[in-house]
Structure 1
Amino acid sequence: MGEGSMYSKDLVHLARVAMSGRPQDAQTLVQRLARRYQRTNGELSESLRGLLRATPHLDAPMRDHGNASPVPLDGDTRQALIRTDQLGPVRSPILAAPVRAQLEQLRDEHRMRDRLEAAGLAPSRTGLFVGPPGVGKTLAAHWLASELKVPLLVLDLATVMSSYLGRTGSNIRKVLDYAKSSPSVLLLDELDTVAKRRDDEAEVGELKRLVTVLLQEIDDWPSTSLLLAATNHGDLLDPAVWRRFDVIANFPIPGPAELGEALNQYCGDAGTEVIEFLTRILAGHSFADAERFVLAAKRKAVLTDERLFDVLLAAGQDRLRTMDHADRLQIALDLLQDGELSQRRVSELTGVSRDTLRRRQRHT
């Protein structure tokens, strides 16, 4: 593409955004063009930067100045389309090392935006969190907002889908315009909702237009905020959606190390033995499953005036009894291999005889 053709394309794009009545998007596009032409046309780049410096930043007075802007409402139900979670204590999420590295870089890019911009770069604007329920996607978004000291705005796409599908695009635009008006982290929860509702053939056209709205908004997202999306069903997403995100983080079911760390948090001072036992009993389950299990035990311990240690062990043994013999035996062998519990204690906990354990150990 020639330089003149590139200028024409960018000019048309800028005019389209400006005429759509979205000033935040127009300002974001000017910022992007200033960076793009920094190397090839320094004079044009500096003129665009001068225009930005001379234009007041389009922050709405909704959070930083204590004068709240109205939350966008659904035109039919008049219910709020977005949930705002203000800053507060957020525990650091327990994550696999690759995911933690991605989140920390996202945080650092936005914390050190000035350094990136001085090098002609911009921080990542968008991230897609993929994984089954209960593995920490929402907690990770809370943590990022807390680390960046900005509000977390949550848009649940399952609830924003209007009974009249044609209005859903308008609802989404309202929310995204609201989120752009001041630095924030916006979480689009259940992104796959858009792809899953394909049972009514009459609505397929509207769904395609809705996906187009989302893609346009993701493309035009300002670098002053962070747009995150979460999905439990990445396989249902439109392929074009994947390409729009700067960062894609895959949240797996926790392994033994991550699950053990989480149980240490949930159980408090219940003891090493119960943590080792429950880590094996709850293998393959999410953080949310493990937390529910521990909370149920805590409630029972309070109501029955028993030690939490005893209640947790009994609950673990109850769950163990529902498993077949092969699974119980494997858990017993894993506990022995961990080296924290004696053979006698493993036999007591799992119900697998010591003779069976000795025979299996001799053959491994």
Structure 2
Amino acid sequence: MAGSGEHIKALVRSHASGDDASFYAVASQIAAQAARKGHNRLAQDIKQTIDASRKQPIAGSVTAIAKPRGDLAELLTATYPKVGLRDVVGPQALLTQIEQVISEQRQRAKLVDRGFAPAHRLLLEGPPGTGKTMTAGVLAHELGIPLLTVRLDSLLSKFMGETAAKLRAVFDAAEQQRAVFLFDEFDALGADRSGNDVGEARRILNSFLVFLEQASPESVIIAATNHRAILDRALFRRFDLVIEYGLPDRSEAQKVVRRRLGPLAKGLHFRSVSTSLDGLSHADLVNAAEAAAKRALMRGHDHVEPEDLDPALAARRAAAGV
């Protein structure tokens, strides 16, 4: 029993640290011990479970990242987005850039074998609500890997004074586990620190630049910002690709609304509300569509009319100050 107790403690320790190799090694020792004691059926069941688990990369290999532990638990939030490339509404140039990143990542082994790195360091810039965070989710979904969002608030406040070390932990995780790592609202970290502010903030930015330069192409590192103009100029040459986002034109705005309404958009004509679409972000349009849908459903209708959509758009315009 003492031996079994030690094995159980070893299993717990390896699981807590996300060490899959040690976890499976201990499990194999338990199977061997069971066999020695004549519990052949139990030993066989354990071995079969180990073999089956090893053949499931998502269930096995993302243990340390999908549920970040220790310091990483306070720095990263893990999700598995369901939004795909087909859900992106934007100009063809934007879609082409996203498709190119996905294609290079899917064929990264071929590129690396020939001495080329796939695009894996992306800077997304544009107004709020225009699809930057969504793009990170799309890449994660299309590549079948988790999205790890870096909590910059914790990084820059709770860990101030040791931020560089925490950044290294994040980039080490990116090397050990394939995922999309999103630094949202990146201007909090990457703003230009020239002038009198040359202390800790400058060291943090310099550390980020070094880590970004050395980042493994196995993971995708994304920095998203609403304020490109305030970013340190040294950042731009470190990224493989800078993708610019803007407010949707009228045609794209109609597509965003129709997609969110789904069947409720049947027969909807935008002529009377077309000008109300101008100046709103993708997120504003989605919110307006949802408000219009609820208004129509509560009236007992199975489709949205302009009189449902118009006040919803007006409310969003007022909230956005358009």
Is the shorter-chain TM-score for this pair beyond 0.5, marking a shared fold? yes
Equivalent residue number for residue 132 of structure 2 = 137
Q: Which amino acid counterpart does residue 68 of structure 2 have in structure 1?
A: V
Q: What's the CA shift for 1:164?
A: 5.3
CA contact (8 A) 1:127 1:249 kept: yes
Is residue 2:98 matched to residue 1:94?
no
Is residue 2:65 matched to residue 1:71?
no
Give 2:207's match in structure 1, choosing from 204, 213, 237.
213
Equivalent residue number for residue 224 of structure 2 = 230
Give 1:193's match in structure 2, choosing from 185, 188, 193.
188
For the residues of structure 2 that align with 1:63 and 1:318, how far apart are their CA atoms? 41
For the residues of structure 2 that align with 1:114 and 1:214, how far apart are their CA atoms? 26
CA contact (8 A) 1:123 1:223 kept: yes
CA contact (8 A) 1:73 1:81 kept: no
Q: Which amino acid counterpart does residue 216 of structure 1 have in structure 2?
A: V
CA contact (8 A) 1:87 1:149 kept: no
Equivalent residue number for residue 248 of structure 2 = 254
Q: Secondary structure at the match of 1:135?
A: coil
CA contact (8 A) 2:191 2:230 kept: yes
For the residues of structure 2 that align with 1:224 and 1:82, how far apart are their CA atoms? 18
Aligned length: 257
Q: TM-score with structure 2 length normalisation? A: 0.70
What pairs up with 1:254-293 in 2 under 5 angstroms? 254-269=248-263, 270-293=265-288
Give 2:109's match in structure 1, choosing from 106, 114, 121.
114
Superposition CA RMSD, Å:
3.0
Alpha-carbon distance change, 214 to 313 in structure 1, aligned in 2, over 3 angstroms: same
Q: Secondary structure at the match of 1:161?
A: helix
Equivalent residue number for residue 147 of structure 2 = 152
What does the per-residue CA deviation read over 1:191-217, in whole Å, with 9 as the maximum and x for residues that have no partner? Answer: 10124597xx6x641100010111011
Q: What's the CA shift for 1:222?
A: 0.8
Equivalent residue number for residue 316 of structure 1 = 310
CA contact (8 A) 1:264 1:275 kept: no
For the residues of structure 1 that align with 2:91 and 2:313, how far apart are their CA atoms? 26
Q: What's the CA shift for 1:224?
A: 1.3
For the residues of structure 1 that align with 2:79 and 2:237, how far apart are their CA atoms? 28
What does the per-residue CA deviation read over 1:48-107, in whole Å, with 9 as the maximum and x for residues that have no partner? Answer: xxxxxxxxxxxxx99562572262545xxx962101112545453112111111111111
For the residues of structure 1 that align with 2:140 and 2:159, how far apart are their CA atoms? 33
Give 2:120's match in structure 1, choosing from 120, 125, 128.
125
Q: Secondary structure at the match of 2:162?
A: helix
Q: Which amino acid counterpart does residue 71 of structure 1 have in structure 2?
A: P
What does the per-residue CA deviation read over 1:250-279, in whole Å, with 9 as the maximum and x for residues that have no partner? Answer: 011111222121111012232354344444
Q: What's the CA shift for 1:307?
A: 5.2
Alpha-carbon distance change, 171 to 318 in structure 1, aligned in 2, over 3 angstroms: closer
What does the per-residue CA deviation read over 1:151-199, in whole Å, with 9 as the maximum and x for residues that have no partner? Answer: 111113234322452122222222222222111111111110124597x
Q: What's the CA shift for 1:280?
A: 2.9
CA contact (8 A) 2:292 2:312 kept: no
Is residue 2:165 matched to residue 1:170?
yes
CA contact (8 A) 1:153 1:179 kept: no
CA contact (8 A) 2:192 2:231 kept: no
CA contact (8 A) 1:263 1:279 kept: no
Q: What's the CA shift for 1:223?
A: 1.3
- Between 313-322 and 246-255, report the one with greater CA deviation: 313-322
Q: TM-score with structure 1 length normalisation? A: 0.63
Runs of 4+ in 1 over 6 A off after TM superposition: 320-323
Identity of aligned residues (%): 29
CA contact (8 A) 2:127 2:246 kept: yes
Equivalent residue number for residue 293 of structure 2 = 298
